[in-house]
Homo-oligomer: A and B are copies of this chain.
Amino acid sequence: MEKGPKLYEGKAKILYETENPDLVIQYFKDDATAFNNQKRGTIINKGIVNNKVSTALFRKVEEAGVKTHLVERLNDREMLVKRLEILPLEVIVRNLVAGTMARRYGLEEGILLKQPVIEFSYKNDALGDPLITIAHVLALGWATKEEIDLLIDATEKVNATLTKFFDEKGFILVDFKLEFGRHKGEILLGDEICQDTMRLWEKETLKKMDKDRFRRDLGGVEDAYNEMCAIVCGTE
């Protein structure tokens, strides 16, 4: 599949057109940003790792019945995906309190929630991706009740699948972010699922194995990305 003109460049990925108007190439960069772009840096080979991990995790959630945009991983840094009209909502799942939720409500990180929380945020960098409730989304007409129900159902399946998978490998899936989009009338899971978009803690030690190592200058960033990649992708 030949790369066509650049469609869009984001913080961690670039999208390129292909000769097929329904398909685009998602290119994974090593650029890392945090705190709504206030912190910037590079994680060596992050793009390669995230492409592999995302491919493997998309395959896993597809087995659980969640439709994704993944067609195939083309090479180290490129994934062929279905072209999506991305919904302006980020879907965040929280199993334990961490990150933004801890700061927002003045809570300690690591509190186990009585049940997983599915949180929506309005995807808008200039506004800082503010939290939005389902009631707001419906009242503004930004999605229908059916679409929200579908997002929640798919998100619950992803959480159940990945929580179990990482638990069996010795890790806690603390929280993660999903993005969905429309493709030919269907809503598909898009974007990526990797250490940039998940918090993973080692069960025994609570060691952080995700982008928090970069966000919080904890060191060993590349090692954590590589270690999780080997665990997720096996000896591929």
Chain A residues packing against B (C-beta within 8 Å): 94, 101, 104-107, 111, 113-119, 122, 124, 126-127, 130-136, 138-141
Contact = CB atoms under 8 A, between A and B. Distances in A.
Given A119-B133, A135-B119, A127 B105 contact: yes
A130 B105 contact: yes
A138 B115 contact: yes
A135 B117 contact: yes
A135 B91 CA distance: 13
A63 B49 CA distance: 63
Nearest to A128: B104
24 contacts: A101-B136, A104-B127, A105-B130, A105-B132, A106-B124, A106-B126, A106-B127, A107-B140, A113-B139, A114-B138, A114-B139, A114-B140, A114-B141, A115-B139, A117-B133, A117-B135, A117-B139, A118-B135, A119-B135, A119-B136, A131-B131, A131-B133, A133-B133, A133-B134
A190 to B, nearest CB: 22
Nearest to A131: B131
- Which of A104, A118, A126 is packed against the most chain B CB atoms within 10 Å? A104
Contact of A122 (B105, B116, B132, B138): B105
Contacts of A94: 139
Contacts of A101: 136
Nearest to A104: B130
Contacts of A126: 106
Contacts of A132: 105
A115 to B, nearest CB: 5
A45 to B, nearest CB: 36
A78 B181 CA distance: 56
A104 B129 CA distance: 9
